[in-house]
Amino acid sequence: MLYHETIKVPEDRVGVIVGRNGKVRRRVEELANVKIEVTSEGTVTITASTNTEDPVLAWKARDIIRAMARGFSPKNAFTLIDDDMQLVIISLRDVVGSSPRQMKRVAGRIIGENGRTRRVIEQTTETKLSVYGKTVSLIGIIPGLDYARKAIDMLIAGAPHSTVYSFLEKMRREMNRQKAELWEDTDL
Q: Which amino acid is at 16?
A: V
Residue 181: per-residue pLDDT: 85
Lowest mean pLDDT among 40-44, 96-100, 160-164: 96-100
Domain ranges of the chain: 2-81, 86-186
Does 163 have pLDDT greater than 80? yes
Residue 147: per-residue pLDDT: 95
Does 53 have pLDDT greater than 70? no
**Is the bond preceding 10 in cis, omega lying within 30 degrees of 0?**
no
Q: What is the distance between the alpha carbons of residues 107 and 121, in angstroms, rounded to a whole number?
A: 14
Mean pLDDT of 117-145: 95
Residue 56: per-residue pLDDT: 86
Residue 108: per-residue pLDDT: 95
Q: What is the distance between the alpha carbons of residues 101 and 42, in angstroms, rounded to a whole number?
A: 27
Residue 120: per-residue pLDDT: 96
Dihedral, CA of residue 86, residue 11, residue 107 and residue 80, to nearest 10? 10
Tell me the per-residue pLDDT of 9-39, one tens digit each, with 9 for 90 and over: 999 999 999 999 999 999 999 999 999 999 9
Tell me which architecture the domain covering 2-81 has in CATH.
2-Layer Sandwich (3.30)
Tell me the per-residue pLDDT of 133-152, one tens digit each, with 9 for 90 and over: 999 999 999 889 999 999 99
Q: What is the distance between the alpha carbons of residues 89 and 55, in angstroms, rounded to a whole number?
A: 23
Q: How many Cβ atoms from other residues are within 10 Å of residue 165's Cβ?
A: 17
Residue 43: per-residue pLDDT: 96
* Common-topology check for domains 2-81 and 86-186: yes
Nearest by Cα to 146 from 125, 120, 176 = 125
Strands laid side by side in the 128-132 sheet: 86-91, 135-140, 128-132
Q: What is the distance between the alpha carbons of residues 120 and 9, in angstroms, rounded to a whole number?
A: 28
Lowest mean pLDDT among 46-55, 64-73, 91-100, 158-167: 46-55
Q: What is the distance between the alpha carbons of residues 110 and 113, in angstroms, rounded to a whole number?
A: 9
Does 182 have pLDDT greater than 90? no
Beta strands in 115-168 (DSSP E): 128-132, 135-140
Q: For the domain bounded by 86-186, which CATH number is listed?
A: 3.30.1370.10
For the chain, how big is the Rg over CA atoms in Å?
18
